Structure formats: C-alpha cells, structure tokens
Structure 1
Amino acid sequence: MRLIEMTGTTAGGVRSHLIDVLGLLGADHQVALLAPTSVIDSLTDAELAGARTVPIQVSTRPSARDAASLALVRRWARSCDVIHAHTLRAGALAVLACIGLTDPPRIVVTLHNMPVGSTAVRATGEALFRIVASGADRILGVSPDLVAKAESLGALADLAIVPAAPDPTIAPTPARSQSPTLLTVGRLSHQKGLDLLLDAAEILVQSQPKLQWLVAGDGPMREALRAETEHRNLPVELLGRRDDIASLLRSATLVVQTSRWEGQPVAIQEALHAGAAIVATDVGGTGVVLGEDYPLVEPSAEALAAAIDILLDDDTLREEREKMSIKRASQLPTLAGLADQLTNELRLFPPLQSGAQTR
C-alpha cells in the first residue's frame, strides 16, 4: 500500500513514536514522510526505514506558507491510500488538503499533545481540533483526555499504543546515590510544570537539606529556569540534553514528573524499566503508563513536595515503589501491539509483522 506519514516539528516521545511507526511500515509498504526539513535531517537512514522524504512547512500557527503546504499535501494525497498524520497541525493540514478529492485517502491522526498555555494557544488548538475531528476517519490520542475530547466533537477515537523499548543499559536493580537525588527528564517547556519543580524544591530544602534535584533536558525555558534557580539558591541542577539517561536513572533516588500535561511519557516508561521509584503528577496519560495501582499526585508544589518527602524518609516504602515499577514495566505496550493497531486503523494489507524491530 501507498502510505503518507506526516508530522510537524517533533521531539522526545513524538519523534520516538514516529521512528517506531516508520520502522514497522517500511518492510511491506511504500511510505513517504512529509515533514519539516529539521525533522527529516534529524533522522538516520535506519530510522527512516526506506521512507521517501518530502520537505514540507508545518508551522506551529497559521501562516502564509500554509497555501503551499496544502497544495503539496493535496498533490501527494491523490496517489496514496492512507495518510497518517501526527500532531494537530499536521492532522488539520491533511484534512483540509483532502477536501473535495474524488477518491480521498483514509485519514488517521495521532494526537500527541493537548494544547496548553496562553488563551491564544488554546483557541488555536481548539480550532485545529475541530477541523481534525470533522474530517479524520479515526483519531488516536495518546491520553484519555485527548480521546474524550475527540469523541465529544463527534470523532471516532481510541487510545494510541505508544511503546518505549527498554534501554539494554538500564539495569532493573539500580545502584542508587547515597545522598537524596531526584531526577526529572523532559523538555524545558511550560507543559512540564517546571515552576512547580522549583517551588517544590524550595519547600523540600527545609526537611531535606542535602537534596540534589537533577533536570535533564533542553528547551525554551532553560535560561529563565537557570536564573530563577540561582536567584532563589535552589538545589536544582540543569544538566541540559544528555545521552546518559540510563546512568542518571541508575543513580537517582527518585524519578519525579512535575508536568501539567503529558501523553504517555517516555521518560516515565524508561524509569519503570529502570525499576525506579516514581513521583508523578496525575495528568494526561501518565496514569495509562503507570497503571491503576501506582500512586499519583495533583500538579501542585505542595503535593509533590509531600510525596517526595515521604518516600525519601521511608526506605521500605521506596523499595515497595521500586518493585511496583519493575512489575509495571513488564506490562507496558510493545511494538507488537503497535503493529496490530496500525494494521487495524490504517487498514493495511499485508498486515504488519508484529515481530518487527525499529529501535
């Protein structure tokens, strides 16, 4: 079959998911990847898995370039069987490009983020969501709230399967640091609740004077966070982008997620595979990853600090949480599950081989 994979700017979990999808599709189907040049250039030949690359502008907000992008997608849509778009912007572009086609392709949109931020950002997101819901044949959301939102707008929707392959260098019996060390992994953006992280750190220094909080990741808030950390003299160290996450996970006493919203966070899946005790906010699809029995906290500095304090002071409770992580890791989604979902939702023939490897 002739398939289009389409995305806007990607990073983190969205990029990992795209690579998995390309790897699964590439063996038996003709795939074209329509994406910004920055995305295409960031992918290796192995990650592209034979996909033909077509540069396209998918801006974060409506712009004058959209007309050219619509024309390009429309041209490719005339000769394909399925468009699988990732992100709201790419999904809306796919829907609009196919309006009026005599024999339009099936459109499946995987949504990876709920629009959060300013009023303008949320309003734009709402408009894009309505376009996608009105024209997509199927929406796959990475979190229950995305699925519920799509269904409320009349779309057929289901929860996306988002596997994170375990890093073979991550040991399930980690060697923890002697001093209390917290680790947060993620993009330095508003969605990640990093203001809550700083406030929680300020609360914790009263009861945990030797605390060290490591933050691995890069993003638009880095300089502002650095300045705030220095101004408030907080025990928070911004590590920047790191390639040794496995080592950091092994040494952390606790892994902490402070996000205001998440899909199915890859960082939390990696922490589970590492057997780390986790404190995470109850937002988006975090509960999908951690499972029904794993304790979650509300997204507030006070709730985060209280949960962290309890686990740092109680070795037995922390060890129980580590055992929960190891057990949950064995239950996480697999590439085989993703292959089955893609076969069903994209209506692929021949069906994907569930044993395919991508990462």
Structure 2
Amino acid sequence: MSHVSSHSPHGQSPLRTVQVLGGGSAGSSAHVRSLASGLVARGVRVTVCAPTEADRAYGFSGVGAQHVPVPRSSDPSSVSALRAACAEADLVHAHGLHAALRAALALSGRRVPLVVTWHTRADAEGARAHLLRLLERRVARAASVVLGTSSDLVDRARRRGARDARLAAVALPAQRPAAVALPAQRPPVEPTDPDRYRHKARAELGSTDRPLLMAVGSLDRQRGYDTLLDAARAWCRLDPVPLLVIAGEGPLRAVLQRRIEDEELPVRLIGRRDDITELLAAADLALLPSSWESRSVLAQEALHARVPLVATSVGGIPELVGDAAELVPYGDARALGDTVVRLLADPARQEELRERGTRQAATWPTEDETVAQVLSVYDELTQPRPLG
C-alpha cells in the first residue's frame, strides 16, 4: 500500500482514516466529531464507525465524514462490520478501550497503523480488575501510538507495555457533549444579556437570594456525590443557606434523593439538561468531587465561564487547572465543606480564581491544535520510511 501525505500534494490520493467509537462517552464522541471536522477540512478522508445513535447525537456525517453504523462492543457482528469498514484504511484511530480492542481484532493480520486515544480510566474490582489489566495490556501493545488525555493515563499505557505513549492535545469542543443534553431539544441559544439570563436561571432553580453551587455529571459511584452530600451539612448553618444543584442522571438517583429528603439537605437533583453552559454561568461556585477525572469538561467549562471551581486533587485535574481552582483530597467531606464555606465568604479569593481561570484556560489546546497534533502522528505513521 502506498502511503501518502494527508495534505494530498500534487494530486495524490488523500489519506484514508477510520475513527472507531464504542459506546462512546460524551467526551470521546465530541472529540471525534471535532477531529472529523478538522481532518475533513484538511483533505483527509474520514470514516466514523460508531453506533447509529452516536451519529444522531453528534452528527459525524454533518461535518463531512462517512458514518458506518457499527453496533456497541457487546454485539458479535461489530468486529466483522469494522473489518469491512477498515479494508481500505491507511490508518485506524480508536477511542477508548473497547473500541481499541475491536479495532485490533479487525486489523489482525494487516499492517495498518493503529492509533488509540485513552480518554478515561476504566474502574473494576476483583476478577474484573484482572481482566481489565489484560485488556489494557492487549490494547497498549497493539497500538502504534497511544495518546492519553492526561499524564497519568500516558504513564498507565507505558506500564501496560505501550511502545509509544504521548500526551494528547484535547480541546474542549465548541459544542457541548450531548450526554447531559437531550438530543431532541433545541441547542442552547446564546443569551444576548448574560445578567438577565443569570437571573432567569437562578429564579428557575430557586436561588434568587442565596448562593448557587453547581455540580454536573452522571449519578454514579465514582462521581463522589455521597461525599458531596456529607459536605453539604457544612453550609447548612450559613445564612442564607446555599443551594446545591446537581445536573445529570444515573443509577444512584433514588439513593441520593432519599438522602436529600431524609437529611433535609439544601440540594436539588435536576436530571439531564440541555442548558448546562448557561446554568453553570449563573452559579457562584462549581463543584467536582469525583474519584478520578482526566480532562473534566465541567472543570474546563467552569474556568472558561469564570466560575470559581472546587475540585478533588485526582487524575488529570491538578495538571488541567493548575493554580486556578481550590483542590481538596477525594472523599474528604470536611475539607470539601470547609473550602466551600471559606470561599463563599471571600469575594477577593473568588475574583482571584476567576482571573487565574481565564489565564489557565488560555493555555489549553484549541481545536486546531488538537487536529494538528493528530495529523502529525498520522503523517509520522504513514510516510514511507527511507531505506538504509
């Protein structure tokens, strides 16, 4: 197979790439849409293999990529569908562990470069943890290059035997991931008058005359919401009592709701929303109590929106936010509660965090820089090697 530059000089045929998504988290799906858009604009042919619902939510076809419906990882037909889609590919780029395993199986016996982006870290216990390690090892060794979205993911890939692991440039896509959106609803409208929108959002949430705290993310174990509810007791004694709003849906909804009612906590669960960016901009503080994150979308949006952030010092968070957020240990409800109380009473510190947040956000990669990095990896892997 003749390898050619993606930039197609002198009429050469364009580089043919296949992007593979599994179930696809919101972050990885939005990243693939952004990549597809940028690659197509630079003359690369892009095929996205993903479940049909992912194309409906993210519109890969709408940015000039070809979408090939490939069922979720649990479906046995997915590897053969992938093999057919990759038949003409110069390079395959898989996003996430399960997508990468299927891509490696689909490419077995063929000398096609495989790039794998690790967007997040899978968690497992007991026998499943052993299986997960084996899966990570298989994927790390099958990849020509592993791109990790945070330094600890790069280190993890190296420990699992990756030949070449690098830090990925990953921009915050301009369009918010749809996991906390309802795809059928209209996209959020940019408010013409931010102050008016802020008052409207706070009135709707029941926080016109009290501080508004905001957390966003699926209601599952690793998000640390149990610690967050413990911490909420610390600000119950304030006057007025701050309101904590949690946007997202998940398996712990009923458990959390019961605790909120039983303990009479000043917390509202508002489910999935399509106006997260606007609600966040109306908040006084953003809270991120997770047990692990790589490049948290909430952290990035909070800093972009100049909303002071209190987050756990885990995974890629310290690297992402630098000195532009208050960091606390994971699972420490007292530290989290005390930090929120202290920050609410200190407008000067809030303003300092807003300024630092703006500076920190300016250091993050743009969508253009993200595409450029990926393209340089593709070129490196597909250019013919000089003989000798």
Q: TM-score, normalised by structure 1?
A: 0.87
The 2-side partners of 1:253 and 1:31 are apart by: 42
Whether the 8 Å contact between 1:256 and 1:278 is mirrored in structure 2 is: yes
Alignment partner of 1:76 out of 85, 100, 118: 85
- 1:13 is displaced (CA, Å) by 1.8
Q: Paired residue for 1:164?
A: 172
Whether the 8 Å contact between 2:328 and 2:335 is mirrored in structure 1 is: yes
- Higher mean C-alpha displacement, 286-295 vs 124-133: 286-295
Alignment partner of 1:154 out of 134, 142, 161: 161
- 1:321 equivalent to 2:356? Answer no
Q: Paired residue for 2:146?
A: 139
Name the amino acid aligned to 1:236. Answer: V
Q: Paired residue for 2:363?
A: 331
Q: Residues 163 and 312 of structure 1: is their aligned pair in 2 closer, same or farther, counting only changes over 3 Å?
A: same
The 2-side partners of 1:110 and 1:342 are apart by: 10
Name the amino acid aligned to 2:311. Answer: A
Between the two proteins, the alignment pairs up a number of residues equal to 343
The 1-side partners of 2:347 and 2:236 are apart by: 19
- 1:209 is displaced (CA, Å) by 5.9
- Higher mean C-alpha displacement, 115-124 vs 334-343: 115-124
Deviations 1:73-119 (A, max 9, x none): 22333321111111100011111222222xx2110011111112543
The 1-side partners of 2:309 and 2:135 are apart by: 34
Whether the 8 Å contact between 2:137 and 2:161 is mirrored in structure 1 is: no
Q: Paired residue for 2:294?
A: 263
- 1:137 is displaced (CA, Å) by 0.4
Whether the 8 Å contact between 2:96 and 2:118 is mirrored in structure 1 is: yes
Q: Any idea what SS the aligned residue of 1:113 has? A: coil
Q: Paired residue for 1:280?
A: 311
The 2-side partners of 1:37 and 1:123 are apart by: 32
The 1-side partners of 2:173 and 2:46 are apart by: 23
List aligned pairs for 1:228-307, cutoff 5 A: 228-291=259-322, 294-300=325-331, 301-307=333-339
- 1:212 is displaced (CA, Å) by 0.4
Q: Residues 218 and 141 of structure 1: is their aligned pair in 2 closer, same or farther, counting only changes over 3 Å?
A: same
Name the amino acid aligned to 1:210. Answer: V
The 2-side partners of 1:153 and 1:170 are apart by: 47
Q: Residues 14 and 208 of structure 1: is their aligned pair in 2 closer, same or farther, counting only changes over 3 Å?
A: farther
Q: Percent of aligned pairs with the same residue? A: 34
- 1:196 equivalent to 2:227? Answer yes
Whether the 8 Å contact between 1:290 and 1:328 is mirrored in structure 2 is: yes
- Higher mean C-alpha displacement, 119-128 vs 246-255: 119-128
**Stretches of structure 2 lacking an aligned partner (at least 5 in a row):** 1-14, 176-188, 200-207, 384-388
Q: TM-score, normalised by structure 2?
A: 0.81
The 1-side partners of 2:255 and 2:87 are apart by: 47
Q: Residues 341 and 262 of structure 1: is their aligned pair in 2 closer, same or farther, counting only changes over 3 Å?
A: same
Q: Paired residue for 2:115?
A: 108
- 1:285 is displaced (CA, Å) by 1.4
Q: Any idea what SS the aligned residue of 2:114 has? A: strand
Q: Residues 262 and 136 of structure 1: is their aligned pair in 2 closer, same or farther, counting only changes over 3 Å?
A: same
Q: Residues 349 and 194 of structure 1: is their aligned pair in 2 closer, same or farther, counting only changes over 3 Å?
A: same
Deviations 1:313-349 (A, max 9, x none): 2122122112211222222210121021111122289
Whether the 8 Å contact between 2:246 and 2:267 is mirrored in structure 1 is: yes
Q: Residues 166 and 38 of structure 1: is their aligned pair in 2 closer, same or farther, counting only changes over 3 Å?
A: closer
Q: Paired residue for 1:356?
A: none
Q: Paired residue for 1:95?
A: 104
Q: Paired residue for 2:179?
A: none
- 1:20 equivalent to 2:42? Answer no
Q: Paired residue for 2:12?
A: none
The 2-side partners of 1:349 and 1:249 are apart by: 41
Q: CA RMSD in A?
A: 2.7
- 1:253 is displaced (CA, Å) by 1.1
Q: Any idea what SS the aligned residue of 2:338 has? A: helix
- 1:35 is displaced (CA, Å) by 1.1
Q: Any idea what SS the aligned residue of 1:347 has? A: helix
- 1:33 equivalent to 2:58? Answer no
Q: Residues 218 and 120 of structure 1: is their aligned pair in 2 closer, same or farther, counting only changes over 3 Å?
A: farther
Whether the 8 Å contact between 2:324 and 2:357 is mirrored in structure 1 is: no
The 2-side partners of 1:304 and 1:13 are apart by: 26
